Structure 1
């Protein structure tokens, strides 16, 4: 099976975190957020109690934000990484729903894979489809190519990961070569990319028994370790560097006015609690293609039982 180069989950999540913190750090001296007048006008508890319309306040002040993260393939016509981040800033908790790139969806009367939607209708078509699948409203989106991934990891000194087994894979057609030894080690940008892209070896019996699901678990582990290790003050001092690295390779509808609520006190920032999930379903061969058929009933139950949402 061909692997497509893509921004994987940690690049996306970390870019989001540092994008928010980088901009806020640059604005921190303004002091507007810390003013009594600001909190009096935009108190999240009062917003919920009085059910103020979302247009009356910055989006970030409303609870339970949903951010759609899209990682593009080589020619940037497919979003081969699709993840919905469900974040509660008040509780500092984050859910990540991974959506298989081969998920079968219907658009304009035709069935296709969800990763092809961005090439046909840009982010809006993907957003509409994800909202239909999950029942959650997408507040923000971030679309990234893979170019900043290694730079971000290297700029922060790598990430320590306990690699579960030797990872070896070579695909000369893609110029993809993965060689990582088992055991706890610090992965630099190059090795980090190999780790999150690995699925199987060149021989039978090598790799994850459950294929892409195993890879998703490792990607989500990488997210958790990256955020836990790097969301610290000494690394946040590099926020402007990371912000500009991410910005060069990012398209988003997040605006400066939406960012300030997420960072209350830069000295006391704590990594969020992260839970990872995959869209329930199964694979099926249809019309000479493999598709992932998501289970609507199980998806609804997963969202209702684990995700933050309101009826706003």
Structure 2
């Protein structure tokens, strides 16, 4: 190495004392030592920025997906500004049919009338037992779940869509105007549960039913459980045991089924509003899109999603109406039906949360 290199420090030789003060070159800047804590903060800031960008991209892609789904689902009619679900209460008839590829039937085993209020950010949902005897002027006496398939059968001749017929009939039955109707088949229900990774319930009793004809295989054990889509469907549908079950399990009436439907819906609301649920929104939209029919305008669907996406489950009141079973019908108690009608009217008027105490709600559900 050349001895003329003056940038190297003097070599330490034995017997020579090191100078106590070394004068540094004026041209060389003093380098500050990096703080490990500040470096960590910078790294954390980068991670946060990347996370925000990822969320923004995800939300944007979900908004696009919702738009594309709505274009395939709702109709393209215009919505007047004063009729927007963001500012006006909306009523809906919600139907769940037993249609599956293996059965081809369209009985509405789930029937709910719902009222939504944007001012109180709340909803009231009344469940109608499937075997309810309905006797209305202008309609043949039938079980409630038999009207929709009948309307489907005559739609081509009458020119009136089955959903329109159902809205008119249930508006008369519940004594409120019904704005929209939606029907989703059981396959869609099962797919939504699977899209969310299952649903948490507390099974009230053992349930067993097997039917090789349509592939039904219900085998549930009492106690807390997380059910996949197929088992959740069996849970809400279970009525009685079959000969293929040993031992046979207890029967379940319409009222217990409605309670289980409400339990599952509450649990699904919880699932949807977790971070995990939000990240699975795309799969949920796909499941709904393929198995749902609705007569709502596309713009109104967007208004509903924007207004009620994060609705609190505490602001969703389920009111299963009760009565007496006398084969082959359920005869509803008039007093209970009147309370259900009034609860829907209160929701529309914006009085639901402020006027119903917890004791009144309990009385309405269990008179």
TM-score scaled by length of structure 2: 0.61
**Which one of the candidate residues 88, 109, 115 is aligned to 1:80?**
109
Write out per-residue CA displacement over residues 175-212 of structure 1, whole angstroms, 9 at most, x where no aligned residue: 3221122222221112212211223334898335x622
**Computing the radius of gyration over CA atoms, which structure comes out larger, 1 or 2?**
2
SS in 2 for 1:129: helix
- State the 1:304 CA deviation: 1.7
Query: Does the alignment pair 1:120 with 2:120?
Result: no
SS in 2 for 1:217: helix
- State the 1:258 CA deviation: 0.8
Distance in 1 of aligned mates of 2:206 and 2:66: 45
Distance in 1 of aligned mates of 2:287 and 2:330: 34
What RMSD, in angstroms, separates the aligned Cα atoms of the two structures? 3.3
SS in 2 for 1:61: coil
Alignment partner, residue 12 of structure 1: none
**Which one of the candidate residues 23, 26, 29 is aligned to 2:64?**
26
**Which one of the candidate residues 118, 125, 129 is aligned to 1:96?**
125
Alignment partner, residue 35 of structure 2: none
**Which one of the candidate residues 205, 226, 250 is aligned to 1:207?**
250
Summarize the Cα distance change of 1:262–1:108 in structure 2 as closer, same or farther, 3 Å threshold: closer
**Equivalences, count:** 261
Alignment partner, residue 169 of structure 2: 129
- State the 1:221 CA deviation: 0.8
Q: Whose strand proportion is higher, 1 or 2?
A: 1
Give ranges in structure 1 of 5+ residues lacking alignment.
1-20, 30-53
TM-score scaled by length of structure 1: 0.71
Runs of 4+ aligned structure 1 residues displaced above 6 Å come to 21-24
Distance in 2 of aligned mates of 1:22 and 1:93: 27
Distance in 2 of aligned mates of 1:83 and 1:23: 32
Alignment partner, residue 308 of structure 1: 347
Summarize the Cα distance change of 1:184–1:59 in structure 2 as closer, same or farther, 3 Å threshold: same
1:1-312 matches, cutoff 5 A: 25-26=63-64, 55-74=80-99, 75-105=104-134, 106=136, 108=138, 110-121=140-151, 122-202=162-242, 206-207=249-250, 211-264=253-306, 269-273=310-314, 274-285=316-327, 290-305=328-343, 307-310=346-349
Alignment partner, residue 43 of structure 1: none
User: Contact 1:69–1:85 (CA<8 Å) still a contact in 2?
Assistant: yes
Distance in 2 of aligned mates of 1:82 and 1:23: 33
- State the 1:97 CA deviation: 0.9
Distance in 1 of aligned mates of 2:227 and 2:215: 20
